[in-house]
Amino acid sequence: MQSLDSLLQKCTSLSRIKQLQAHLLVTGQFQSTNARTRLVELCAISPSGDLSFATRVFHRIHLPSTNDFNAILRGIAQSPEPAGAVSWYRAMLRGSRRVDALSCSFALKACARALAISEAMQLHSQVVRFGFCADVLLRTTLLDVYAKGGDLDSAEKVFDEMPVRDIASWNALISGLAQGHRPTEAISLYKRMKEEGLKPNEVTVIGALSACSQLGATREGGRVHDYITEEKLDQNVQVCNVVIDMYAKCGFVDKAYEVFDGMRSRKCLVTWNTMIMAFAMQGDGYKAIELFKQMGQAGVEPDAVSFLAALCACNHAGLVEEGVRLFDSMKECGVVPNVKHYGTVVDLLGRAGRIKEAYDIITSMPMMPDVVFWQSLLGACKTYGNVEMAEIASRHLLEMGSNGCGDFVLLSNIYAARARWDDVGRVREAMKNRDIKKVPGFSYIEVDGKIHKFNNGDQGHESWQEIYRKLEEIRFKITEHGYVAGTDFVLHDIGDEEKENAICYHSEKLAVAFGLISTAERTPIQVIKNLRICGDCHAVIKLISKIYNREIIVRDRTRFHRFREGSCSCRDYW
């Protein structure tokens, strides 16, 4: 065995592994269970091995053991095609060798990588039948596959049934909930973990910060950051990157930059890209471009993501010429523009009113345009009232099978702005025939660590009557400051009074009003909206920030709006 160990350590290439196999065959040791298993395992999972050769070696074994099967199973599970491990596992069941907990674990890991939930459920039943439920590692793997596959209810059930939970069990569920768009539950589980005396590690805080980012939960995110600093987890560059991203997505780009500037670990390419995108989302194009230049000066070569972040910054800040120059310089830096780069430039030109140039890029670029290109063009046509080009974009969207309600609503709004009500009716009829419904708007706001959700016209909140009274007060005060309702943002051919009522109770207005009645004076108010903020809400919140002396941060589907003293960080360009 000592001789075998020595030979195994020397197998640093496939040719050496083949020499060892020949040695075992010549000396008659190949059929020795332990020797051959270690050879198969070395060949199947080591960097110097070869999985296909490992399977050929396996098929020369007269009576393969469970360990022999497991060696191949493990290799397939971590290969580029993990789904094949399920077939291998089934072959084990059909054969004379009994599967063990490791067999199930490797098969489940393959299911997690292949997102094979149906197969994982079958394996789960076998884990129970074979009596392997007491194996904590196996249960953790089972939890992980459900969480990664999006079956969070099953993941929670496995978690709740575990008599002993290690940190990998906790981390799998927190990450799964965060990635499965159940951030409130992820944060609650993170708190519960700490209450039960477990110390979160790097994986835990990354999952918790991701959940905070989704909700804009700055206070909770700040607490996680404090823990990271106390435990010196900020020496991990990936953790720092996620902290930067959390503050940026919560609207606090200054705090994000503080973390970026004060990093104890070495900044990687992702760090620079995250910070550039943070400035881009805030509409601070000049800082984003300056940081992009600093990255090059620091010896970090920009990649496709770097250029995309910088282009987004130009787009949000209206830096048209800078954006075009940046796009043209990509090939000089050895970066081939992809569909996202072209899409951003199209949007940049369209938002600046250069609709014909945007159209020319769409029709001449080296790849087929997807629906996003025509949607961007349609949005630009809405802003500038270009009906003819809007109809071209809509025709392409229909030909591509797009059924997004936003496409129809934009075209309807373009017609409505021209009082072409027959065309509005035609579009609405098409929406009805295709069973397309407008995506309902909703907004989140965090108050005292609790997340409150509002829908358009919501009367389900416990404080809804007080909120509505506050909105009436707001309407009275902003009217004194010259506000006139932007009723052209309403699709329907209805009276002006009905239109004004329709826009008065948008979800972001409800959330801001709740923030005013629920927080101390001068406290910043943060709101997250699932759709793009409408022009009327934008105008109203600008006035609220001035009248009530509040900083209001609204993160909509595409960017941040920071309202201060009657103006917005976007400079009314969004």
Q: Is residue 562 helix, strand or coil?
A: strand
Instruction: Give 497's pLDDT tier (boundaries 50, 70, 90).
Output: very low
Which range is least confidently modeled, 273-277, 459-463, 486-490? 486-490
Q: What angle do CA 166, 230, 268 make, to 5 degrees?
A: 90
Is pLDDT above 90 for 547? yes
Give the model's pLDDT for residue 106. Answer: 92
Is pLDDT above 80 for 394? yes
Instruction: Give 12's pLDDT tier (boundaries 50, 70, 90).
Output: low
Choose from 25-34, 162-171, 498-507, 516-525 the range with maximum mean pLDDT. 516-525
Is pLDDT above 60 for 35? yes
Provide mean pLDDT across the span 246-263: 93
Give the model's pLDDT for residue 496. Answer: 46
Q: Where would I find the H helices in 12-135?
A: 14-26, 33-45, 51-58, 66-77, 84-94, 101-114, 117-129
Give the model's pLDDT for residue 34. Answer: 72
Give the model's pLDDT for residue 267. Answer: 94
Q: Where would I find the H helices in 352-495?
A: 355-364, 371-384, 387-399, 405-417, 421-433, 464-480
Give the model's pLDDT for residue 502. Answer: 64
Is pLDDT above 60 for 503? yes
**Residue 455, strand partner residues:** 442
The residue ranking higher by pLDDT, 226 or 489, is 226
Q: What is the pLDDT of residues 307-323, one digit of tens each?
A: 999 999 999 888 999 99
Is pLDDT above 70 for 404? no
- 345-438: which CATH number, 1.25.40, 3.40.50, 1.10.3470, 3.30.70? 1.25.40
**Beta strands, E only, 282-382:** none
Is pLDDT above 80 for 410? no
Provide mean pLDDT across the span 165-182: 92
Is pLDDT above 90 for 232? yes
| DSSP structural state of residue 513 | H
Is pLDDT above 90 for 282? no
Q: Name the residue ranges covered by the structural domains of the chain.
A: 345-438, 442-568
Provide mean pLDDT across the span 171-188: 92
Q: What is the pLDDT of residues 347-391, one digit of tens each?
A: 999 999 999 999 999 999 999 998 889 888 988 888 888 888 988
Give the model's pLDDT for residue 226. Answer: 96
Is pLDDT above 80 for 97? no
Identify residue 18 by its one-letter amino acid code: K
Nearest residue to 217 via CA among 528, 520, 455: 528
Provide mean pLDDT across the span 129-146: 87
DSSP run (H or E) holding 209: helix 202-215
pTM (predicted TM-score)? 0.77
Q: What's the chain's average pLDDT?
A: 87
Provide mean pLDDT across the span 512-527: 94
Give the model's pLDDT for residue 492. Answer: 46
Provide mean pLDDT across the span 495-521: 81
Is pLDDT above 50 for 272? yes
Give the model's pLDDT for residue 501. Answer: 58
